[in-house]
């Protein structure tokens, strides 16, 4: 049964979970913080702070709607190219987010997952993330998958290297390398592919996010800057998703 989202948009509190056409896994590029701030004459860091507030809202909303996995792109392997003060601010945000939200995540049975090159992070960021992973490890509800220092190409390179090692050690034959064998070495191992990809801020590109995993994902773009993104926008995206026809290369008989 289809969740009556148009009705939900009018009556947002009446959200039912577990409906059949609900995307299981939603991936979001949290983009537009800088432009949001610029529009208001504020420093870019104010935009990042407001973006963190948006994340809190959307995690709450996704949990209420009944989403199983929410993947959020917080910092890419290319974002190190930004001025150092901005990078430093961004590296402190996970600590701040987790300090204020960890209790809430636990209360809502949300399990944190990390996706990216952990070793490249400053020690304080790594510590905050590692601790939060441990403290939510026993939770069984929605998975909040944080893409931090994440790049899809780096992820694929790492997977290929691990597979090559297995092969050169004689543990894997070339014929045994298939989709499943590759997926085993991705950061998303064990997670379903995203059903719905959301990118706010008016940009229509993937920016090195989940290149393998979005092969058959439904893409949804919005002009809203991430700090302004709220439950209504999430519901709009889900509504659009529910009106798509996913064929996976086949045809409807």
Q: Which residue, 31 or 218, has its beta carbon nearer to Mg ion? A: 31
d(CA 31, CA 93): 15
Please choose which of ligand IPE, Mg ion, none residue 241 contacts, taking the beta carbon within 5 to 8 angstroms, the exact cut-off set by kind. none
31 near Mg ion, judged by CB under 5 A = yes
CB 53 within 8 A of CB 130: no
Decide which of ligand IPE, Mg ion, none touches 71; Cβ closer than 5 to 8 Å per partner kind: none
The number of residues that bind Mg ion (CB under 5 A) is 1
Consecutive H or E run containing 74: strand 69-76
Tell me the two tokens of residue 192: 């379903």
By CB under 6 A, residue 201 contacts ligand IPE: yes
Decide: is 54 part of the binding site for Mg ion (CB under 5 A): no
Contact between 12 and ligand IPE by CB under 6 A: the answer reads: no
C-beta separation of 156 from 211 below 8 A: yes
218 touches Mg ion by CB under 5 A? no
Residue nearest to ligand IPE (CB): 34
Restricting to residues 17-36, name those near ligand IPE by CB under 6 A. 29-35
CA 111 vs. chain centroid, Å, equals: 13
**Length of the chain (residues):** 253
How many CB atoms within 10 Å of residue 162?
Answer: 14
CB of 150 to ligand IPE, least distance (A): 8
Among the listed residues 155, 139, 140, 133, the one whose alpha carbon sits nearest the alpha carbon of residue 213: 155
The residue whose Cβ lies closest to Mg ion is 31
Catalytic annotation, residues: 31, 79
Contact 31, 200 (CB under 8 A): yes
- Where on the chain is the footprint of ligand IPE (CB under 6 A)? 29-35, 73-76, 79, 90, 201, 203, 205, 207
């Amino acid at each position: 049964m289809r969740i009556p989202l148009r009705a939900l948009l009018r009556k947002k509190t009446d959200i039912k979970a577990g409906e059949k056409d609900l995307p299981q896994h939603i991936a979001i590029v949290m983009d537009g913080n800088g432009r949001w701030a610029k529009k208001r004459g504020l420093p870019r860091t104010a935009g990042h702070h407001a973006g963190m507030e948006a994340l809190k809202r959307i995690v709450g909303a996704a949990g209420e709607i009944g989403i199983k996995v929410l993947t959020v792109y917080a910092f890419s392997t290319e974002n190190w190219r930004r001025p150092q003060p901005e990078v430093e601010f961004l590296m402190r945000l996970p600590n701040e987010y987790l300090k204020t939200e960890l209790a809430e995540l636990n209360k809502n049975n949300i399990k944190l997952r990390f996706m990216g090159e952990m070793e490249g992070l400053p020690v304080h960021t790594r510590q905050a993330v590692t601790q939060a992973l441990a403290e939510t490890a026993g939770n069984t509800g929605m998975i909040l998958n944080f893409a931090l220092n994440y790049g899809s190409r780096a992820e694929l390179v790492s997977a290929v290297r691990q597979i090559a090692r297995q092969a050169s050690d004689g543990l894997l034959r070339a014929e045994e390398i298939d989709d499943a064998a590759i997926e085993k070495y991705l950061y998303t191992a064990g997670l379903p592919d995203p059903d719905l990809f959301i990118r706010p801020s008016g940009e229509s590109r993937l920016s090195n996010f989940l290149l393998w995993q979005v092969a058959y994902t439904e893409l949804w773009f919005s002009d809203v800057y991430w700090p302004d993104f709220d439950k209504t926008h999430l519901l709009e995206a889900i509504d659009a998703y529910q009106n798509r026809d996913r064929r996976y290369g086949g045809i409807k008989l």
